[in-house]
Amino acid sequence: MIVIGANVLNPFFAITRIPEALGDGLGALGLGAYGTLSVILLAYVVLGMFMDGLSMLVVTIPIVFPVILSLGFDPIWFGVVAVIVIEMGTITPPVGLNVFVVRGVAGDVPLTTVFRGVMPFLIAMIVGLLLIIAIPGIALVLPNSMFG
């Protein structure tokens, strides 16, 4: 159903030129490439609190991808960054969906305990994300070795 919905939504985006308008709006903010990237990643974290990863990717990539390309970022690098940020969103309070899955499996553990247990992983993901943003080659070593 998600893929069918995205297939209906993508032609709508093409006709209404929403990705171009979003790109122009982000460019008008004057944040620069990394500022715009930060806004996009923050949006992914917020969406991740309420949606699952596949839904976010299928719905948002047609909007965000042209903006990322226009900023000069590597598309493979952005794919790695997007997956990390989406997973960060799925464990972020208040509604992190993966946390509720863990809560369902460990039924006798309070939800606050599960959220506290997730925090070290969230911090590790943030540190890893900052490293990948600062040194893009980290995320591109394996893809470059395949095509190099």
Q: What is the DSSP annotation of 64-84?
A: HHHHHHHTT--HHHHHHHHHH
Work out the average pLDDT over 65-72.
88
**Contact (Cβ atoms closer than 8 angstroms) between residue 70 and residue 30:** no
Work out the average pLDDT over 138-145.
87
Q: What is the DSSP string of 25-43?
A: HHHHTT-HHHHHHHHHHHH
In sign, the C-alpha dihedral spanning 69, 75, 77, 80 is: positive
Domain ranges of the chain: 2-139
- Measured from the Cβ of residue 135, the count of other Cβ atoms closer than 10 Å reads 10
In sign, the C-alpha dihedral spanning 70, 76, 82, 88 is: negative
The band of 55, judged by pLDDT with boundaries at 50, 70 and 90, is confident
Q: Model's pTM, two decimal places?
A: 0.81
The band of 131, judged by pLDDT with boundaries at 50, 70 and 90, is very high
**Contact (Cβ atoms closer than 8 angstroms) between residue 48 and residue 89:** yes
